[in-house]
Amino acid sequence: MHLSSSTVAEAPGLTPSFSPLYQQIKSLILQSLQAGEWKPGEPIPSEIELAARFRVSQGTVRKAIDALAADNLVVRRQGKGTFVATHAEQHVQYRFLKLVPDSGDIDSDGPAERTIVACRQQHAAADVARSLALRAGDTVLQVRRVLAYGGVPTILEDLWLPGDPFKGLTLERLAAWPGPMYALFETEFGVRMVRAEEKIRAVLPDAPEAALLAVACATPLLSVERVAYTYSDTPMELRRGLYRTDRRHYRNDLG
C-alpha cells in the first residue's frame, strides 16, 4: 500500500499530523517491524524503495532511518544496506548489561557462565502483573539464573515473562541455548526487546540469594529492576537482578 505525504499523517495509530514527516515515516517503518515484515538480522528495503513506497523524498526516508538507527532498531552496514538490529550481534549483546570489570575491559573474564536455577509457570503477583500490563493471576514464566565471570558468581537474576508469547520456553531450552537470552527470545519466539527502564538501589541479600552468589548476608549488593519493552512500548519482561560490585561496577553512558 502506497501512502502519499498528504495521507501519511492520517494513517491510524500514528502521531498527530503536526509531527515532522520523517517521524511519520519512522512510525510506518516501526509498524512493519512490529508486524514482522522484516525479521531481526534481515535487510530492510533501500531508501529509494521506501521513498517510492511512501511517496516521500529519499531525504525524508534517510532521516527516519537515522532516527531508527539512533534507537538501535536498525543497523547501517557500509556498502550492504540497512538491517533490522538483532541481539545476536556482538555489539548489541551487552546493550542492557551495564556491569563491567573495574579494568574497563568487558571481555577480560571471557563470556559469562550461565546457570539456569529454575524455570516455572506461576500466577502473576500484583506487582509483576502491573509491570507487565497483565491482570493479577495471569500466567507468567518465572526464570532464575546466575551469571558467573571467571568462576565467580556475580549476578543473580529473576525474570518474569508473559505466558502466552513465551509458550514452550523451558529450563532445558534455556540451558541449551548458546547465545544471549534476548537472541533466543527474538529467534524462537519473535519477541525483540528494543528498550528498557531501570530502577537501581543498594540492598542486602537474603540467605538463599547470598548462597547463590557465594557472599555473606551482610554484603551490600546492587539491585537493578528492569522492565524491557518490545515495539509499541509493550512490556515483555520484568527482570530483577542482584549484582556483586566487589570487582565490577555499574556503568551507564549518558551522552
What is the chain's pLDDT, residue by residue, as a tens digit (255 residues)?
Answer: 444 444 454 444 444 456 789 999 998 998 888 888 888 888 999 999 999 999 999 999 999 999 888 887 888 988 889 998 877 655 444 456 677 888 766 666 667 899 999 999 999 999 999 999 999 999 999 999 999 988 999 999 999 999 999 999 999 999 999 888 888 998 889 888 888 899 999 999 999 999 999 999 999 999 999 999 998 789 999 999 999 999 888 887 665
Ordered by start, the domain boundaries in the chain are 5-84, 90-250
Alpha-carbon span 241 to 178, nearest angstrom: 21
Please determine whether the domains at 5-84 and 90-250 fall in the same fold group of CATH: no
Q: Which amino acid is at 221?
A: L
Nearest-CA neighbor of 29 among 227, 189, 194, 165? 194
C-alpha distances (whole Å) from 110 to each of 106, 147, 160, 186 are 8, 12, 27, 24
235 with 196: CB under 8 angstroms? no
Please give the torsion angle defined by the CA atoms of residues 131, 134, 139 and 140, in that order, rounded to the nearest 10 degrees. Answer: -20
CATH of the domain spanning 90-250: 3.40.1410.10
Alpha-carbon span 197 to 200, nearest angstrom: 10
| Predicted pLDDT at 10 | 41
pTM above 0.85, yes or no: no
Q: CB count, 10 Å around CB of 219?
A: 16
| Cβ-Cβ contacts under 8 Å for 6 (sequence gap 6 or more) | none
Residue 101, phi-psi category: left (phi > 0), alpha (psi -120 to 50), beta (remainder): beta
Q: Residue length, the chain? A: 255
Alpha-carbon span 243 to 154, nearest angstrom: 6
Nearest-CA neighbor of 228 among 72, 19, 54? 72
CATH of the domain spanning 5-84: 1.10.10.10
| Predicted pLDDT at 108 | 63
Q: What DSSP letter does each residue of 20-41 carry, written as one string?
A: -HHHHHHHHHHHHHHTTSS-TT
| Predicted pLDDT at 217 | 96
DSSP-derived pairing of the beta strands 152-162 and 99-101: unpaired
Please give the torsion angle defined by the CA atoms of residues 126, 128, 131 and 137, in that order, rounded to the nearest 10 degrees. Answer: -60
Helix (H) or strand (E) holding 85: none
